[in-house]
Amino acid sequence: MTTDLDNRPPRTVVRLDDVRKEYGDATALDGVCLEIRAGEAVAVMGPSGCGKSTLLNMVAGLDRPSSGTVQVHGQDLGALNETGLALFRRRHIGMIFQFFNLIDDLPALDNVALAAQLTGASARQARRRALELLDELGIADRKDTYPAALSGGERQRVAVARALMNRPALLLADEPTGALDSRSGEQVMDLLIDLNQIGQTLLIVTHDPHLATRCAGRLIEVADGRVARESTLEPAA
């Protein structure tokens, strides 16, 4: 795996201090404090509507807290404007989603290359790097296939490759196995474990205890917008 960890991120990759998020009268997050260190794999669990997706959005810079601070890779996200956040995400954060969110008009290779091309990399350079990633994820032979013709597991692998394209300090996964059959789910879990083992910091939001226990070293349980419990998990077998 060629994830770039040479630029030595600070020991703490994610720090949330007393983060509150309100939508009108509803409180989605209520004074959340959280710290994720480099190389950690953290799972966030909780019932629907508890605020775990909001928490992920805060860390990804997709949403802003009503109060409190969110720091990722040493950068206070509240200090960045929309363009700054986009540039920050591009360089330091990779995201994978439950429904893959691939662009239907582009084949697998171009979907992956897209992330690098946005930073200004040439099409050739981007495709070469994308091909390396697809090869490492075992789907290089599907590089010219369009998303509609890929299986769920393959689509998620393409999404993972895209997330890793710019060598992010933090990989966020939102229900990464939620839309997959059990076999494809297991394959994705193996992939996440491999990534973590080579030092990739992971934050996984899931309903699935099996995913959490297999992939994460630490479990954060959220209820009613608060961190209800934190626990350390046994390393995956």
Q: What number of chain residues touch other proteins (CB under 8 A)?
A: 44
Name 220's Cβ contacts closer than 8 Å, sequence gap at least 6. 34, 42, 43, 44, 45, 227, 229, 230
Q: Given candidates 117, 145, 151, 187, which one binds other proteins under the rule CB under 8 A?
A: 117
- Considering beta carbons, is residue 64 or 218 the nearer one to other proteins? 64
Report yes or no: 7 and 24 within 8 Å, Cβ to Cβ: no
User: How far, CA to CA in Å, does 193 sit from each of 152, 188, 196?
Assistant: 19, 9, 5
Q: Give the range of 1-9, 43-51, 120-128, 189-197 binding other proteins by CB under 8 A.
A: 120-128
Segment lying near other proteins (by CB under 8 A), choices 31-39, 56-64, 72-80, 135-143: 56-64
From 68-76, 106-114, 189-197, 213-221, span contacting other proteins (CB under 8 A):
106-114
- Which parts of 164-183 interact with other proteins (CB under 8 A)? 166, 174
Which residue, among 156, 168, 235, 173, has the nearest Cα to 207 in the 3D structure? 173
Q: How far is the CB of 217 from other proteins (least distance, A)?
A: 25
Distance in angstroms (rounded) separating the CA atoms of residues 9 and 91: 12
Where along the sequence are the contacts to other proteins (CB under 8 A)? 53-54, 57, 60, 62-63, 82-83, 86-87, 89-91, 94-95, 97-99, 101-107, 110, 113-115, 117-120, 122-123, 127, 146-149, 162-163, 166, 174
